[in-house]
Chains A and B, each alone.
Chain A
Amino acid sequence: MPRIAIIDYQMSNLFSVKQACTYAGLDTVITSNKQEILNADGLILPGVGAFGSVMANLDKLDLIGPIKDFTAQGKPLAGICLGMQLLFTESEEMGKHKGLNILEGSVLSFNSLKISPEQKIRVPYIGWNTIFPPSKASEANWALSPLMSVKRNDYMYFVHSFCCVPQNKEEILSVTDYEGIIYCSSVLKGNIFACQFHPEKSGQQGLTIYRNLKIFLSGGSK
Chain B
Amino acid sequence: MAQIIRIIPRLDIKGPNLVKGIHLEGLRVLGLPEQFARFYYESGADELMYMDVVASLYGRNSLHDIISKTASEIFIPLTVGGGIRTIDDIRNVLRAGADKVCLNTAAINNPQLIKEASLQFGSSTIVITIEAIRQLNGEYLAYTDNGREYTGIEVVSWARRVEELGAGEIVITSVDNEGTGSGFDINLTKLVSEAVSIPVIAHGGAGSLEDISDIIKATEISAVCLSSVLHYDFIENHPRDFEWKSEGNVDFLRSKRQFTNVKTMTISKIKNHLHEQGIKCRRTVL
**Chain A residues whose C-beta falls within 8 Å of the C-beta of B97 in the assembled complex:** 15-16, 19
Stretch binding the partner chain, chosen from B58-66, B107-115, B122-130: B122-130
A20 at the interface (CB under 8 A from B): yes
CB distance A206 to B75 under 8 Å? yes
**Contacts A48-B121, A48-B125, A201-B76 hold; do A127 and B6 have CB atoms under 8 A apart?**
yes
Residues on A with C-beta less than 8 A from B199 are: 122, 124, 126-127
Bound complex: CA A50 to CA B95 (Å): 19
A207 at the interface (CB under 8 A from B): yes
A19 to B169, CA, bound (A): 25
A16 vs B4: C-alpha distance when bound (angstroms): 24
Say if the beta carbon of B143 comes within 8 Å of chain A.
no
Q: A203–B286 contact, CB under 8 A? A: yes
Q: List 17 A-B contacts (CB under 8 A).
A: A15-B95, A15-B96, A16-B71, A16-B75, A50-B122, A123-B198, A124-B123, A124-B124, A126-B124, A127-B4, A128-B6, A128-B46, A128-B282, A180-B2, A203-B41, A203-B75, A206-B75
Q: How far is the CA of A26 from the CA of B2 in the complex (A)?
A: 38
- Are B71 and A15 in contact, CB atoms less than 8 angstroms apart? yes
Interface flag for B211 (CB, 8 Å): no
Give how many A-B residue pairs fall within 8 Å (CB-CB): 91
Contacts of A207 in B (CB 8 A): 75
| CB contact under 8 A between A157 and B198, given known A16-B97, A179-B2 | no
Q: Provided the pairs A13-B95, A128-B46 are in contact, do residues A155 and B125 lie with their beta carbons within 8 angstroms?
A: no
Min C-beta distance of B95 to chain A, whole Å: 7
- Chain B residue nearest to A178 (CB atoms) is B3
- Taking CB atoms, residues of chain B closer than 8 Å to A128 are 4, 6, 46, 282
Q: Smallest CB–CB gap between A198 and chain B, Å?
A: 8
- Flag if A203 contacts B284 (CB, 8 Å): yes
Q: In the complex, A203→B78 CA distance in Å? A: 12
The size of the chain B interface, using a CB distance under 8 A, is: 33
Interface 1/0 per residue, B191-227 and A, CB below 8 Å: 0000001110000000000000000000010110000
Interface SS of chain B: helix, strand, loop or mixed? loop
B-to-A contact residues, CB < 8 Å: 2-4, 6, 41, 46, 71-72, 75-77, 94-97, 99, 119, 121-125, 168-169, 197-199, 220, 222-223, 282, 284, 286
Size of the A side of the interface (Cβ < 8 Å), in residues, is: 35
* Pair A127/B3 contact, Cβ less than 8 Å: yes
User: In the docked arrangement, what's the CA distance between A16 and B220, Å?
Assistant: 30
User: Which residues of chain A come closer than 8 Å to B96, judged between CB atoms?
Assistant: 15
Q: Which residues 97-139 of A sit at the B interface, judged by CB distance below 8 A? A: 120-124, 126-129
A127→B122 contact, CB < 8 A: no
Residue of A nearest to B98 (CB): A13
User: Shortest distance in angstroms between A207's beta carbon and chain B's nearest beta carbon?
Assistant: 6
Q: Could you tell me if B284 and A13 are in contact, using CB atoms closer than 8 angstroms?
A: no
B76:A157 contact, CB within 8 angstroms: yes
Which B-chain residue is minimally distant from A159 (CB atoms)?
A: B124
B286 lies within 8 A of A127 (CB): no
| Least CB separation from B96: chain A residue | A15
Residue of A whose beta carbon sits closest to that of B127? A126
Given A126-B168, A126-B222, A200–B197 Cβ distance below 8 Å? no
Report A1-24 CB contacts with B as 1/0, cut-off 8 Å: 000000000000101100110010
Within 8 A of B (CB), among A180-200: 180, 198, 200
Are A127 and B223 in contact, CB atoms less than 8 angstroms apart? yes
* A23 CA / B198 CA spacing, docked (Å): 33
The distance in angstroms between the C-alpha atoms of A119 and B123, with both chains bound, is: 22
Q: How far is the CA of A198 from the CA of B168 in the complex (A)?
A: 17
Nearest CB in chain A to that of B194: its residue: A120
A202 within 8 A of B: yes
Task: Find chain B residues with CB under 8 A from A23 CB.
Answer: 75
CB closest chain-B residue, reference A14? B95
User: In the bound complex, how far is the Cα of B284 from the Cα of A122, in angstroms?
Assistant: 24
Binary contact track A22-63/B, C-beta < 8 Å → 1, others 0: 010000000000000000000000001110000000000000
Which has the most chain B C-beta neighbours within 10 Å: A126, A129, A155?
A: A126
